Every structure is written in structure tokens, then in C-alpha cells.
Amino acid sequence: MPVAQLKSESVVLATLEHYQNWLETLNYSSLVVKNNPRFIAEFITWSGITNLHQINTTNLQAWFTHLSERKSKRRAGALSINTIKSYYTALNQFSRFLRETGQQSFAVPRLNPGQAQQETEIKVFTQKEIQQLYEATNYYTDPGIQDKGLLAARERVILGLFYGCGLRKNEGQNVEIKDLDLKKDMLYVRKGKNYKERYVPIPAGVKKDFVHYLDYARPLLLRGQKHEQFIVTWYGRPMGKSALYSRLHILCVLANLPHIGLHTLRHSIATHLLQNGMKLEQIARFLGHSSLESTTIYTHISNEAVLF
């Protein structure tokens, strides 16, 4: 066991073994199953706690400060940002495990720039800039077919999935026709992060774009092919991540906006929902966050007009 050398009370060791079994049951990668319990064990040994109830903000912050100053065993200098974030992720996940198994959990404090060098800046579009992206779809001309708006209809669906519904890249790419319940205005996310499933509401404007795409554009784009994938290429095949990224890049060029990734659309809708008064807990459920900690990042940027 990766925690076999932990010098603590037997109940702590038993909990870590249970945690490792939980990871295996949820089909986490072998690397996560191996490393995450070890990361937790390192923290417990370093902090000298003998009971998991002793985990608190003070000793967690001290631990991250220690990690930021600790030298790497594999290369010259301090631990890398990614290594420190791996410890951070493990603690957040362990907190979730305790909560979901009915045990007393804890809140993991956010890393500050001094503890993880510099966190990646979260960029969002303003609501006006999102409107510019939508308007940019009107500038499309379809190759070989004039004035039919096939690509424009599809690109509005891409914006609807990643901004209107706030999906992650994998979630949006894997949406199938059967996942859309347009009668109830709901979208079923089958392949969420960490295998979590959820339903997200489909806004009225997004639904209108979905219906137009399904009734008109998608059948023509399929060119006689038959499959369940919602978003398709010009040749009727399921659209992959690189193609989705490319289509968004074209919209940014047409709208004269900075080149961004699909996740920026997700960050943008979360920020806009917070600005419009939605509670943090509701936004967390909408985004499929396992921990409210992941959602609190938007409280730091919700008052910004633009971050580009």
C-alpha cells in the first residue's frame, strides 16, 4: 500500500485505504490511485496530526507554504507548479471523499501566487463580447453552397453548448442526439468530469438554435450518414476537439476578439451568472463542480468588465 509507512493512528490509515479503494471503484487512473493517497499521507505525517478532524485551514496553508519552499528530488530548484497543484487536487478530492462517505470533511484554502508561483489567469468575455461572437456567425459563407447558413447554424450550436450550457470540452464534444430533451429544456451530460452525470438547463435562445440546427442544418451536413453525434463537420463526421477549437478561433477573428479556448466560454457564463445574481451553490451544480471551492474562483472576477 502507498500509505503503509504512515506513522499515525490506525483509524487514519484505515481511512486512507478506504479512500484508495474508493478511487479504484470510481475508475480513476492507476496513477491517481497510487499517488493521491500517498500525497495525503505525506501531509498527515508532516503536520503530525493523529486525527483527521485536526485538518484545518491553518495546517493546510502551512503545508502549501512548505511545498512551495521544498526542493525537488528529481531536478534542480523547487517543486514545479504542476506538482504542487497535484497535492492541492489530491486534498480537494480527499475532502470530497470524506463528505460523500458521511465523514467530517474540511475546506481546502486556495493557493496563493507565492505558494504556486503564478496561477493561470482566468479570462472571460463580457456579455457584449459574447453577443459579438453570436453576431459573427452571420458573416459565414458556406463553401460551395451560397446563402444556406449551414455553418452559421452549427457555430451557434457550438456557442450554445459551451457558453449557454457551460459544458466542458469533453462534455460538449460527446453530446449525442439522445441527450437532448427539448420538451423539458434539459441536456443530459453523460460524460462529465470524474464520471459524474448531470442535467443542465437549455436556455430559450439556445433551444431555438438547437431546434433550427436539428431540423435544417444537421441533416444537410450529415450527407446521408447516420450517427448520434450532435455536432458534425462539413463532411458529416463527428467533430473533434481540434475542429471545435478551430471553429471558435474563426469566430474570434470575425468578431475582432482575442483568440481563446472553449473553456473561456464556460468561465464566461459562470461569471455572468454570478454577476446576474445566481447563488454560488446553483452555479456549482450547473457547472458540475464536485466542490464549491472550484466555483469560488468566479467571485474574484465577477466585478471585472473584461479580463483581456
Averaged pLDDT, 3-9:
48
Amino acid identity, position 213 = Y
Q: What is the pLDDT of residue 267?
A: 92
Q: Catalogue the E-assigned strands of 225-296.
A: none
Fold for the domain defined by 127-300: hpI Integrase; Chain A (1.10.443)
CA separation for the pair 297, 288 (Å, rounded) = 15
How many Cα atoms within 13 Å fall on the side-chain side of residue 54? 12
Q: Does domain 10-100 have CATH number 1.10.150.130?
A: yes
Give the long-range contacts of residues 19-22, CB within 8 A, separation 24 or more.
19/94, 19/97, 22/97, 22/101
Q: Are strands 198-201 and 186-189 parallel, antiparallel or unpaired?
A: antiparallel
Averaged pLDDT, 230-258:
92
Digit-coded pLDDT (tens) for 132-153: 999 999 886 655 555 458 889 9
pLDDT over threshold 50, residue 117: no
For residue 116, give the C-alpha cell: 504556486
Share of the chain above pLDDT 90, in %: 44
Q: What is the pLDDT of residue 77?
A: 63
pLDDT over threshold 70, residue 113: no
Averaged pLDDT, 28-54:
86
CA separation for the pair 233, 240 (Å, rounded) = 9
For residue 47, give the C-alpha cell: 503536520
Q: What is the pLDDT of residue 69?
A: 83
Higher pLDDT, 235 or 81: 235
Digit-coded pLDDT (tens) for 148-185: 588 899 999 999 999 999 999 999 999 999 999 999 99
Q: Quick check: helix, strand or coil at residue 55?
A: coil
Domain limits, the chain? 10-100, 127-300
Q: What is the pLDDT of residue 303?
A: 45
What is the overall mean pLDDT for the chain?
Answer: 84
Higher pLDDT, 14 or 176: 176
Tell how far CA 94 is from the center of its chain: 18
Q: What is the pLDDT of residue 163?
A: 97
The DSSP secondary-structure symbol of 193 reads G
pLDDT band with cut points at 50, 70 and 90 for residue 304: very low
Beta bridge partners of 188: 199
Averaged pLDDT, 278-303:
75
CA separation for the pair 296, 287 (Å, rounded) = 12
CA separation for the pair 44, 174 (Å, rounded) = 39
Catalytic residues: 168, 193, 263, 266, 289, 298
